[in-house]
Amino acid sequence: MNFVIDENYRITSDRNQWIIQRSRKRKGKFVWESIAYFSTLDRCVQRLGVMLCRELETEGVSEALAGIDAVSAKLSQALSPRFEVATRFDDANTDCDRSSAKAPPPASPTRDQAIKTCSENAE
């Protein structure tokens, strides 16, 4: 799993740990260098947040607070789930007449829920 935070940092993982990696130039190419290892994603993200905040070049409290907010937003955006859920009764493998079917519930129905909805309409 790879979470690219920005052009300089990413969080990756293997079977045993979460890893903070930094981009660096080596022999003319950019490579990812592992710099810290963690057993939990929470600790990894906390440490990266601290690292990014320490790298801020700010003068004064208000600039520092704005920089911390920017780091927090950057981490939240990079680590937010990105997926799309499509609700389709075709996946339920039913012979239900869709013209008489009730509207699906707000949450994505399971196969059994879809079959139950079609069965109720058939009665």
E-state strands within the chain: 2-4, 9-13, 18-26, 29-38
CA distance linking residue 44 with residue 36, whole number of Å: 8
Tens digit of pLDDT for each residue in 26-57? Answer: 998 999 999 999 999 989 999 999 999 999 98
pLDDT band (50, 70, 90) for residue 121: very low
For the chain, domain boundaries: 2-79, 89-122
